[in-house]
């Protein structure tokens, strides 16, 4: 999405900045109502705190979380047509079938968990197997462009170093291990705090003295400073006694709370790297009050529509 914005926005920094802020809000809000939309929702689903189909009742609160700030921010969009950067994109061979395999993978993971009572990770690894079989087919049926006459080759066929057209293991080998080890360290620290009893004290303070609603709203504020994955892992480790409506609330707040700051979610951090100098921490920060309106509106919408049904 950032690549599209940079291609369309050109040198209009204001347009790019506003678009990036909306992408962050939309990405976090869109992930809050689907078990596969965000790591936090996936964690809650894997722990069987909320049923798979129940997550989708968060669609309207998530939409409110995005639409409220978007409706306000539209008045700040420059009233001009920026000169777009020249960019073209084409789908490579097998792209549509890979999309179909992605949908099949999601279906497999859901069916494995709901009907066979297997962890969703087994379904996702099965999907990786789908992709590996298809990658093998693409390699076996690949036409070596170097063997074609020169008038049948395109400029893209002259790229050196592309040994095979598609290799799943190559993609996995390029995974960001620094990021994975970072989250492993954070989860390890949270587990240590739970082992020595500090999470129990925090749980007693938040969920017994403050109340579940106040505590869950605070979780969303914490996730804007600390990534939502360790925050949700801490809540699941505390395992407070809450109704389904409150588990849905903490799923919503942990997901969309990261939109309050650019460092509060992986989407914001990624966009700051992609749109370097155009989308920054402070360009996002000046819209935090507007984003907070959407955050509060989504909470009230959930409490109004859903909480009474799941208490």
Domain ranges of the chain: 2-91+175-310, 93-164
- Residue pair 246/309 in contact (Cβ under 8 Å)? The answer is no
| Predicted TM-score (pTM) of this structure | 0.76
Question: Which of 240, 245, 267, 246 shows the shortest CA–CA distance to 256?
Answer: 267
What pLDDT score was predicted for residue 311?
Answer: 60
Task: Please identify every stretch of the chain with a pLDDT value under 50, giving residue numbers as ranges.
Answer: 146, 148, 151-153, 155-162
Cα–Cα dist 24/266, whole Å: 9
pLDDT of residue 297: 95
Q: Give the per-residue pLDDT at 159.
A: 46
């Amino acid at each position: 999405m950032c690549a599209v914005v940079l291609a369309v926005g050109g040198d209009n920094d204001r347009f790019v900045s506003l678009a990036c802020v909306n992408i962050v809000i939309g990405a976090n809000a869109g992930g809050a109502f689907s078990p596969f939309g965000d790591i936090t929702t996936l964690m809650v689903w894997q722990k069987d705190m909320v049923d798979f189909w129940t997550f989708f009742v968060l669609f309207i609160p998530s939409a409110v979380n995005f639409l409220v700030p978007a409706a306000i921010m539209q008045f700040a969009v420059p009233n001009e047509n920026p000169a777009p950067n020249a960019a073209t994109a084409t789908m490579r061979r097998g792209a549509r079938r890979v999309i179909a395999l992605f949908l099949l993978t999601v279906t497999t993971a859901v069916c494995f968990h709901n009907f066979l009572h297997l962890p969703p990770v087994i379904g996702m690894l099965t999907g990786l197997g789908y992709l590996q079989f298809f990658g093998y087919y693409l390699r076996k049926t690949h036409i070596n462009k170097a063997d074609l006459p020169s008038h049948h080759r395109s400029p893209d066929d002259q790229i050196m170093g592309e040994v095979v057209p598609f290799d799943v293991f190559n993609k996995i080998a390029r995974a960001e291990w620094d990021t994975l080890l970072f989250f492993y360290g954070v989860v390890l620290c949270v587990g240590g705090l739970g082992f020595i009893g500090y999470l129990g004290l925090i749980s007693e303070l938040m969920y017994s003295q403050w109340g579940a609603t106040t505590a869950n709203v605070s979780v969303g504020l914490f996730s804007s400073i600390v990534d939502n994955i360790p925050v949700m892992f801490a809540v699941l480790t505390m395992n407070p006694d809450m109704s389904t409506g409150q588990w849905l609330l903490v799923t919503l707040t942990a997901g969309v709370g990261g939109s309050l700051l650019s460092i509060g979610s992986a989407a914001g951090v990624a966009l700051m790297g992609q749109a370097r100098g155009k989308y920054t921490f402070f360009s996002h920060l000046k819209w935090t009050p507007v984003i907070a309106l959407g955050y509060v509106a989504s909470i009230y919408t959930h409490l109004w529509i859903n909480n009474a049904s799941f208490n």
